[in-house]
Amino acid sequence: MTIRLGIVMDPIHNINYKKDSSLAMLWAAQDLGWELLYMEPRHLYSEQGIAMGLMAQLKVMRDPHHFYELDHQQPLPLGDLDVILMRKDPPFDTNFLHTTYLLSQAEDAGALIINKPQSLRDCNEKLFATQFPECCPEVLVASDAKVLKAFHALYDDVIFKPLDGMGGASIFRARKGEPNLNVIIETLTEFGQQQIMVQRYLPEIEYGDKRILMINGYPVDHVLARIPSSGETRGNLAAGGSGVAQPLTDRDRWICEQIGPVLRAKEIHFAGLDVIGDSLTEINVTSPTCIREIDDQTGSTIAVDLIQHINQLLAARLSLIHI
């Protein structure tokens, strides 16, 4: 029986062939003989309580000039698929939320969703990290300017960031005496209407913002240290950082041991932890990246390992059906 894999992702023609992690997953699945079906979030809908998708059969190639082919779209129930990869990048906005509700309908109809839709809703990548205070730096989530200013005054050097951003967008460092402090807070909180995060500045960012990829709650053997460009405080590759693969440290492994059981309990099969120095800063469960960079530098096969894990999950489901 051919496994049918659906993927919900940003437009495939816009992805970066050299770096895209979703493409690596698709190659790995296709190499196993799986059928690939492509959707964007706008292609999902519900009809008479049945989650549906306008799907196009997809073929992927290892050719930078011609790396995919799409067939014509056809409407199919999402529950007819064996597994669906949710690979839509943040921001986690209303449209993203509605997409997870449709994926929950598909899950109820029998499809395996990676990652579990309920957990996508529950685990904001910045707030989720605060559930592990022993792993995190000093951190505050608030919208009130007085509360935010008090935290800044306590630590002098802090990072302000929105809760739903990605790629280092709208991140501000505010040192002691920052003349634009009011403007930063007003802009990010929309004059007190939006909760934001503020963290103590971690000077270890100089050595990289480490991305640790987790499959089934267990880390891969190497991290990608995303090192800021000159004059930057953000290591994000999208903000100009450079990526260097490094072995996990003992502290990295300890952090993974604290978080791994929770990821497994929440059926978060693929996640990305962000660690600066010895401190956890974020847990990405929506669309973790950096597979290609780590694989290229270390010879690892992260996407293959993930697809093999999904294959084991599907086999376990099938065995339960036949009991």
Active site residues: 126, 161, 211, 226, 234, 274, 282, 284
Cis peptide before 115 (omega within 30 of 0): yes
- Evaluate whether 279 touches 130 at the Cβ level (below 8 Å): no
Q: Is the dihedral angle over the CA atoms 137, 142, 148, 154 positive or is it negative?
A: negative
Inter-residue contact 6 to 78 (CB < 8 Å): yes
Could you give phi then psi for residue 146, rounded to 5 degrees?
Answer: -65, -40
Check if the beta carbon of residue 219 is closer than 8 Å to that of residue 251.
no
Q: Beta strand pairing status for 4-9 and 35-39?
A: parallel
